[in-house]
Amino acid sequence: MTDERGGKPSASSFNRLLNCPGSWQAEQHIPAEDGGSDAVTGTLIHDAIARQDIESLADEHRAVAYECIQIRDEIVRDFGGDPQAGQYFVEVERRIWWRLKLFSGQCDYVVIDGPRALIVDYKTGHVGAPPAERNLQLAAYALLISHEYGCDEIHVAIVQPRAFPRKSVSVYRWADIQAAEEAVTKMLHNAMAESPPRNAGEWCHYCRARATCPEAQSVVKHLVSIAETGELPATTPEEMAQLLDRANIAKRIAQTIFDQAKERMIAGEDIPGYRLKPGSKRKTIIDPNAVFTRAAERGITQEQFLGAVSVSTGKLKGALREQGLKGKAIDEAMEAIIDGLTEITETQPSIEKIK
């Protein structure tokens, strides 16, 4: 697999390198991963948005992609433009290099308006990114775009439909861009120093070295020692927060181990005490009209049949799109169609790390 980053740091890893300077060097001799389910899904959605081929996605992924576009277009309007008018120069998914190729960044969506620019970064997973005003990845993007196009006012935005908040926006002016250069330069210096420190944390999820890193393993060993007692010790809220942080690291390391073991077993390797369990099979109806005709022949009424059918809002939006509707017009048409005909269910609350 060709490394388009050329073995150099990428802006997408800067939030991690800020917290764990040694992680970049720790990854260097570890092969690139295909990525977990969230990473694979993110790549599919990013590629489909860039190609403007969202209809090729599965229903759930298509819905996320359309939400990304909807939120992005709101941000573009706030920036002062019409997303559909083509009034700005727009760049999508182009890798830009910093001086002497020290690092690079690939922005998802960039709008250039003379000395002003807007950078949008999509996050399609369930884990929220640091807010725009203190997101080092976006700071690096602002630095790259300023250097590439001479902009001195750069709006940066995080779009994350599956996390809270769904959007986060900040503005870099010239003094902020200079401060960003100092912060990025310091971070790179720390990451490339001899034997930089490593710190385990939630950022381990994005590090290829997480399964073999001694600092990450020490977290797992600590949790194992607690588990062996059969109960948690009495903890203050602050100590419980630390345990939650460590549990998240351990969970991600465990998933990495299972993923790698699965890949090796699929390739034919025997792992003592374990086997590949066959995947479950799901039957999907591919021709609802033909099924209704056969059901009607057996006395099933249309009302009974519709009671057994669920409506995909993603596909319904796709049908409206085929009629020529776009953006906000699709949302308004959907609201008119489903108004008063939906119910909202809510799952159990889950614990989320505050960024």
Give pLDDT tens digits along the chain (355 positions): 567 888 899 999 999 999 999 999 999 988 776 555 677 889 999 999 999 999 888 888 998 999 999 999 999 999 987 777 677 899 999 999 999 899 999 999 999 999 999 999 999 988 889 999 999 999 999 999 999 999 999 999 999 999 989 999 999 999 999 999 999 999 999 999 999 999 998 888 889 898 889 999 998 888 888 888 877 777 899 989 888 988 988 888 888 888 889 989 999 999 999 999 998 898 989 999 999 999 999 999 999 999 999 888 878 888 898 898 877 788 889 999 999 999 888 888 988 888 7
Helix (H, G, I), strand (E, B) or coil at 298: coil
Q: How many degrees, rounded to 5, is the angle at CA 64 between CA 37 and CA 1?
A: 40
What pLDDT does 2 receive?
64
What pLDDT does 15 receive?
95
**What count of residues does the chain have?**
355
The CA distance from 168 to 187, in Å, is 23
* Nearest one of 123, 111, 117, 116 to 167, comparing CA atoms: 123
Q: Is 93 exposed, middle or buried (0-12, 13-18, 19+ CB in 10 A)?
A: middle
Are 193 and 21 in contact, with CB atoms under 8 Å apart? Answer: yes
Both tokens of residue 19?
A: 């917290």
Side-chain half-sphere exposure of 1, counting CA atoms within 13 A: 8
- Measured torsion, CA atoms of residues 259, 68, 349, 246, in degrees rounded to the nearest 10: 40
What pLDDT does 246 receive?
87
What is the side-by-side strand order in the sheet with 167-173?
A: 89-91, 109-113, 116-122, 153-159, 167-173
* Nearest one of 111, 115, 202, 191 to 157, comparing CA atoms: 111
